[in-house]
Structure 1
Amino acid sequence: MLSFLPTRVRGLISSLLLALNVLVYGAAILLLAIFKFLLPINAVRRPLDALLNTIAQGWVYNNSVWIALARNIKWRVEGLDKLNPRGWYLVVSNHQSWVDIFVLQKTLKGRVPFLKFFLKQQLIFVPIIGLVWWALDFPFMKRHGEAYLKKHPEKRGQDQETTRRACEKFSLVPTSVINFLEGTRFTQVKHDQQQSPYQYLLKPKAGGIALAMNAMGEKFQSLLDVTIHYPEGIPTFWDFLAGRVGQITVLVRELPIPRDLISGDYGGDAEFRARMQAWVHELWQAKDAQLAALRQSS
């Protein structure tokens, strides 16, 4: 517990511990990834993937150590009691800050398999960690604007194919696949530009979750609907490193995945797309009401 130190010093110590954690565990993951690349067969891939995920969980555990050192955060976490660390879960969450990722990893650690995120393609170039994400089979998505797709129609559907390939790999070992449905971090400016119908959320995008359910729906045992709330206001990542975050609330709802939404053509079937969007809208309405209640109580 380093709360007696100035926040800048705590932030520096946390940054150094995080960097050391990345270097040590990143090196171990990349070493195993060489064998995975050279021997791409299921008989080798299954045990290697399991070992890689175990090492990644060690990285998450060490992150929990520097988080606790920076400050004794008051956590309110609900809904974890019946989860299975050997199961397959589809996870959705609201997204407000880079801190969300560390919060999700810390609270779900040991409760569900290691979380796999959908990432922007540019993040593969982040030193060391980008290659680690690649080794752990994190899917990198290259999003194209509508203007680009009109000039290059052959690129349409590229993300969908990336999602399918990634989910095929996830089916080999127990995995939690997380999707930030908003597609970006919440800000009031983005909220106003979108004219979002929700008070505390951006508009959700149903395409990614539809593809994940289509590719792995029979494997997922349930949906984990996670709501993250920061009673003191949305923190920056530096706030988190420096121990300026005193309270965090994480509420988890385990919900069944509708069987009629597991298979369907989201891009080509208008009726199916409408049903998927309606289901996601219901999830987001409930989450918005939950955030409103949390804000009122805090």
Structure 2
Amino acid sequence: MSWLRIAFGTLLLTTNTLLHVPPLLLVALVKAIAPLRPVRRVCDGVLMAIAASWIGINTTLIRWFTRTRFVVDIDARLQPDGHYLVLANHQTWVDIPVLQAALNRRVPLLRFFLKSQLFWVPLLGLAWWALDFPFMKRYSRQQLEKRPELAGRDIAATRRACAKFMHIPVAVMNFVEGTRFTTAKHAQQSSPFAHLLKPKAGGVAFVLDAMGRALHSILDVTIVYPDGRPTMLDLFANRLREVRVTIRERPIPAELLEGDYQNDPAFRERVQAWLNDLWGEKDRLITQQRAV
């Protein structure tokens, strides 16, 4: 009966989306044309409430229709009106509903940097736009070799996105590995970590540079699936027994707030070394969690 469970769960999640996205877009339109900043500020609050409701109902549906056990360990002073940089390991698309379930209404809405192509996903693309999710255009090495001037556009897009977040509660989400973990990618990288891919420091450095001291702290999130990496179908089919989420709040090192990541090799090495140390701790935690 797994197919019936999957079909019914998908129908309910789709219905929830159809109920929340139209009012979301309506409020976003009012915000876009409103001439007064107080009106736009009210619209921001309404948008966040709609998003929290949407995510909350999705989480409730997952808990109702699956027996997945969520074990969440929080060592952090979480604030719904805070400013956070959230760093997490990435294994599967299931990570996203897991993160939302663990952090919804505890911190501001998680905002991901999305590929520009995702803007065209029906309904969801417009919803992400309405919620100020940053869309990034990524260029291949061949494109950059032909047009070197494109190399700075992702940095400029990061700065524009972060400028919007300076004065509103925000949790900027960064999957530092840049892609989902697979055994093949792990071997190809010759990763020094047992359970993780190599972290990429560029995105973290650019957010820290753009937002600086507006951020309160870093939320270091570790996601562990004791029975192995699940797919979304595994989740909907009730084949995901347990997920463990560990959330640790970490101060932002002062030496990482000022520097030129792009042009200063010494600063770039400092950021990478700090992130490698963080990833080493995360790798050891995953080893402990998987042994329980």
TM-score of the superposed pair, with normalisation by structure 1: 0.95
* 1:228-277 deviation digits (Å, cap 9, x = unpaired): 00111111011112221111100011100011111221111111111111
- Is 1:164 the counterpart of 2:159 in the alignment? yes
Task: State which of 26, 43, 51 in structure 2 corresponds to 1:31.
Answer: 26
TM alignment of 1:71-150, pairs within 5 A: 71-79=66-74, 82-150=77-145
Show the counterpart of 1:13.
Answer: 8
Q: Please identify, of 65-74 and 43-52, the stretch whose mean Cα deviation from structure 2 is larger.
A: 43-52
The one-letter amino acid paired with 2:200 is: K
Q: Per-residue displacement from partner, 1:109-160 (whole Å, max 9, x unpaired)?
A: 1211111011111111110001110111101111112221111112111111
Q: Give distance in 2, aligned partners of 1:296 and 1:68.
A: 25
Q: In the alignment, what sits opposite 1:268?
A: 263
Residue 188 of structure 2 aligns to a residue in which SS? helix
Deviations along 1:80-108, whole A, 9 cap, x unmatched?
56211111111000001111000000011
Length-normalised TM-score, structure 2: 0.96
For residues 49 and 154 of structure 2, the distance between their equivalents in structure 1, rounded to whole angstroms, comes to: 28
Structure 2 partner of 1:187: 182
Deviation at 1:57, TM superposition (A): 0.5
Unaligned residue ranges in structure 2 (runs of 5+): none
Amino acid at match of 1:58: S
SS of the aligned residue for 1:243 comes to: coil
Equivalent residue letter for 2:280:
Q
**Structure 1: gaps of 5 or more residues:** 1-5
* Alignment RMSD: 1.3
**For residue 185 of structure 1, what is the amino acid of its counterpart?**
R
Partner SS, residue 238 of structure 2: coil
Report the secondary structure of 1:254's partner residue. Answer: strand
Q: Partners in 2 of 1:47 and 1:215 — Cα distance?
A: 25
1:38 offset after TM fit, Å?
2.1
**Aligned letter for 1:281?**
N
Determine the structure 1 residue equivalent to 2:203: 208
* 8 A contact 2:76–2:247 mirrored in 1: no
Q: Which secondary structure does the structure 1 equivalent of 2:208 belong to?
A: helix
The alpha-carbon deviation at position 173 of structure 1 amounts to 1.4
Q: Is the 8 A contact 2:76 2:248 kept in 1?
A: no
Q: How does 1:174-253 map to 2 (within 5 A)?
A: 174-253=169-248
Identity %: 48
Distance of aligned partners of 1:22 and 1:154 in 2 relative to their CA distance in 1, 3 Å threshold: same
Match of 1:290 among 281, 285, 292: 285
Q: Following the alignment from structure 2 to structure 1, what is the Cα–Cα distance between the partners of residues 195 and 171?
A: 25
**C-alpha offsets along residues 148-183 of structure 1, whole Å, 9 cap, x if unaligned?**
111111211111111111111112211111100011
1:50 to partner: Cα distance:
1.9
How far residue 26 of structure 1 moved from its aligned partner, in angstroms, is 0.9
